[in-house]
Structure 1
Amino acid sequence: MAKRTSPQALPTGVRIRNNCVQIYFNHRKNAYRITLPHPATAEGISAAAKIRSELITKAKWGILTDDDIAKAKGLTAKDSIITSGVLFQEVAQRFLTHCDANLDTKKGYVRILEHHWMPDLALVPIAQINVDMLRDLIAQRDFKTAKTLNNCLTPLRGVFQSAIEARLIGENPLNLIKNKKVQIDLPDPFTRDEMNALLSWLDANLQDDDRLYYWYYELAFWSGMRPSEMIALKWDDVDWFNGTLHIHQSRVRGIEKSATKTHKARTLYLNDRSMRAIEQLKQLCERGKKSQYVLICPETGEPFFNEKPPRLRLNDAMKACKIRHRPAYNARHTYATMLLMDGVNPVFVADQLGHSLQMLMKRYAKWMHGDKNKLEIAKLNTK
């Protein structure tokens, strides 16, 4: 006969109650106390520790069901009370597992599901969730903006789409819940005079290693690259002979991505100002720590984690020059509007920005005719 172990030897979360082995653990304010059909022997206790570990793992990933607990207790499906159907949390986990979005987007989906939808839907069979239930939940959540609601509906739609693909439901209940209309603001570029004032201040006030930030903004204003593209740019992407850059990567929160925001690689043609910026950055690189990246953070000596350090420099310049505050990203808008107002072919501008022509016209139509709009409105004042 196998010997029982002493209480001191029991694994974490395993105890003996009334000569039976019991496991216990807490997860997200839920307390689990499960008596197992195992003898209070060393073998039984070892098996209990393994079962506990498996259940905790499932609870962590949101896929622990009543069926799992019943099985641990040694009950059959007929013996246990199990809610019929696959639960919402199980389908949500499948959706996240098979979702082909990038890591950053997936993390956002996890946060949305956990905060907004799991508290009410996790243990509800997916087939029992209907449009009225979802409308009630949306009303209870009181989303502050239409954009927030739309963002939160995206992973929820994905969960129900996964359920359709698995033939768990016949139609997506969210088909009857439409996204709210969101007002899209026009780009807010710096004027050419504002841009020149900002660059002059940066040129005059940034010294030593901080000079990099002056050339950063020379490149930003005169190339139209996104910040995520700039901090991912490598020397291998520079074609010195043809005066171009190969834009095909991005860097977001320190994570290198082998694609741009729009998943569209492009050849960016350098002008005199952006070419000079690249040349000066090359000299800074040769004098400092050698790197494959064009832009290295002066404070860390490593590739930029994000665009916050250069953004703070431009904030200082705007404050010093008494220029109305705008996001540093608007250097890209400035480049686009300068090209359009100077009469550059919109097809070329779209290619430089990595936009479709349709998107360019949608966003920048106001600037596509340069000062001709003023001439047209002036006709109203003539007799």
Structure 2
Amino acid sequence: MGRIGLGVEVRETSIRLSFTFEGRQYRRTLKANGQPISPTLANVGFAERLAAEIRTRIKFGTFSMREYFHEDDTGTGVLTVGQQLDTWLSTLRVEHSTRAGYSSAVRFWQSSTCDKFGKKLGDLPLRTMLTSHVLTALASRPDLSGKTRNNYLGVLQDALEAAVTDRVLEVNPAAKVPKAKHQKLPPDPFTREESEAILQKIGQLFPGHVFNMAEFWFWSGLRTGELLGLTWANVDLEHGIVHVRESLVRGQYKGSTKTNVARRVIMNSRSRAALERQSLLPRAKGPTVFLDPRTSKGWANETVFLKSYWIPVLKWLGIRYRRPYNCRHTYATQMLMAGMNPAFCAGQLGHSVEIFLGTYSRWLDGDRNALEMGRLEAAISG
């Protein structure tokens, strides 16, 4: 065993700090994820800086054991980035689907390479974390879309900001990492001819549950989770109203919509007819409106519908693939092309007017754009 610097003990396979706090002598082996860090030159240098910082803060009365050391079942070690992320995630009270997304981001950061030596960001002592570590981790995954990159970065920034609030960190090393520029893809609705061809083929091949759900989807504008989570208690066939109050996300019922605002959807003749037909079919024991015909139970998600019904029909018809979610876009554009009030359309889809207009501005003028260009073409040819 050797001793380098005040308060730093270098052992054969570990490094230990020694200091006196509130009249008590402490010795702490520096660890990462429960394992002692090896006594490399770089780690010894870090230990010396850490020991000096601890002495200074003890001197001025600003030292806290919680800020520097993490208690776990394997002993006391330095708090790592991975542990901070886990701690932050455990404190959140969020929906199941939101937590799943956050967990994915946490796993990404914990397993990403953050330096040229292949060190994992999750194993890095939190107080040694640099902005360059974050940038290196992001650079190691060039396949990430701009949206996913920004979502992951947001999680890291929030977790580290919590460490700043707890005075574990003085500054957030991820705060100034720029977000990726990415362009949100515009809506890609089906044409009226395409949607009618799809419904006709589904009606021929899969009448009953599948056809009723597909027609209602095309002519109601509900989000995927809202459609799959629709219950008979929220359907008023007599008055032609559907109350959208909840949704099904990742197989879990969420007691609210995506925007946390309930709405009343007024049914048209097509969506109403689909629900009337559905009401005559044998119902499951549960309250769900639309059922998987193979199980007579509600759909857990859209995967089976996609693979067994949607994709085969589009291939059969030779129609370019788009997700069933585009049924919602199709309904929005059909309303606008019919000249309906944008404010009413926005309310039916559960959008603010601003978001609705920004999303569907291309269809605001219906067929008038083509008519106006037709006049110009007539003048050119004349």
Question: Which category describes the TM-score, using the shorter chain as reference length?
Answer: 0.7 to 0.9
**2:272 is equivalent to residue 279 of structure 1:** no
Cα distance, 1:104 vs structure 2: 2.6
Cα distance, 1:278 vs structure 2: 0.9
**2:98 is equivalent to residue 98 of structure 1:** no
State the alpha-carbon separation in 1 of the partners of residues 72 and 228 from structure 2: 49
- What is the letter of the counterpart of residue 249 of structure 2? V
CA contact (8 A) 2:34 2:74 kept: no
What's 1:378 paired with?
Answer: 374
**2:226 is equivalent to residue 233 of structure 1:** no
**2:147 is equivalent to residue 150 of structure 1:** no
Rate the CA distance shift 1:69–1:362 in 2: closer, same or farther, 3 A: same
Question: For each residue in 1:153-210, what CA deviation from the matched residue of structure 2 results, as whole angstroms up to 9, or x when unmatched?
Answer: 1221121121122122233222211210112111111111111111111222224xxx
| TM-score, with length taken from structure 2 | 0.74
What's 2:193 paired with?
Answer: 193
Structure 2 residue runs without a partner (length 5+): 1-31, 37-68, 113-119
Cα distance, 1:290 vs structure 2: 4.2
State the alpha-carbon separation in 2 of the partners of residues 338 and 88 from structure 1: 50
Q: Which residue of 317, 324, 336 maps to 1:321?
A: 317
What's 2:101 paired with?
Answer: 108
**Paired positions, count:** 308
Question: For each residue in 1:26-81, what CA deviation from the matched residue of structure 2 results, as whole angstroms up to 9, or x when unmatched?
Answer: xx99889xxxxxxxxxxxxxxxxxxxxxxxxxxxxxxx95876456xxxxxxxxxx
Question: For each residue in 1:313-347, what CA deviation from the matched residue of structure 2 results, as whole angstroms up to 9, or x when unmatched?
Answer: 12222222222221111111110000001011011
What's 2:349 paired with?
Answer: 353
CA contact (8 A) 1:244 1:270 kept: yes
What's 1:44 paired with?
Answer: none
**2:215 is equivalent to residue 218 of structure 1:** yes
Cα distance, 1:97 vs structure 2: 1.2
* Higher-helix-fraction structure: 1
State the alpha-carbon separation in 2 of the partners of residues 137 and 206 from structure 1: 48
State the alpha-carbon separation in 1 of the partners of residues 283 and 238 from structure 2: 24
Structure 1 residue runs without a partner (length 5+): 1-27, 33-63, 72-81
Structure 1 residues 253-292: aligned runs within 5 Å: 253-284=250-281, 287-292=282-287
Rate the CA distance shift 1:89–1:326 in 2: closer, same or farther, 3 A: closer
State the alpha-carbon separation in 1 of the partners of residues 133 and 302 from structure 2: 42
Cα distance, 1:103 vs structure 2: 1.9
Rate the CA distance shift 1:65–1:346 in 2: closer, same or farther, 3 A: same
State the alpha-carbon separation in 2 of the partners of residues 193 and 275 from structure 1: 21
State the alpha-carbon separation in 2 of the partners of residues 294 and 214 from structure 1: 13
- What is the letter of the counterpart of residue 116 of structure 1? W
SS for the counterpart of 2:291 is coil
Rate the CA distance shift 1:269–1:160 in 2: closer, same or farther, 3 A: same
Cα distance, 1:247 vs structure 2: 0.5
SS for the counterpart of 1:245 is strand
What's 2:40 paired with?
Answer: none
State the alpha-carbon separation in 1 of the partners of residues 80 and 205 from structure 2: 60
Rate the CA distance shift 1:87–1:144 in 2: closer, same or farther, 3 A: closer
What's 1:296 paired with?
Answer: 291
Question: For each residue in 1:331-365, what CA deviation from the matched residue of structure 2 results, as whole angstroms up to 9, or x when unmatched?
Answer: 11110000001011011111111111111111111
What's 1:52 paired with?
Answer: none
SS for the counterpart of 2:140 is helix
- What is the letter of the counterpart of residue 305 of structure 2? P
What's 2:364 paired with?
Answer: 368
SS for the counterpart of 2:298 is coil
What's 1:343 paired with?
Answer: 339
CA contact (8 A) 1:116 1:141 kept: no
* Higher-strand-fraction structure: 2
SS for the counterpart of 2:253 is strand
Cα distance, 1:275 vs structure 2: 0.8
CA contact (8 A) 1:143 1:149 kept: no
What's 1:161 paired with?
Answer: 161
CA contact (8 A) 2:337 2:366 kept: yes
- What is the letter of the counterpart of residue 319 of structure 1? K
CA contact (8 A) 1:248 1:264 kept: yes
SS for the counterpart of 2:323 is coil
SS for the counterpart of 1:246 is strand
State the alpha-carbon separation in 1 of the partners of residues 345 and 292 from structure 2: 29
State the alpha-carbon separation in 2 of the partners of residues 203 and 336 from structure 1: 23
* Percent of matched pairs sharing the same residue: 32
Question: For each residue in 1:222-247, what CA deviation from the matched residue of structure 2 results, as whole angstroms up to 9, or x when unmatched?
Answer: 10111211111111101233211110
Cα distance, 1:272 vs structure 2: 0.9
State the alpha-carbon separation in 2 of the partners of residues 232 and 339 from structure 1: 24
- Deviating above 6 A after TM superposition, structure 1's stretches of 4 or more consecutive aligned residues are 28-32
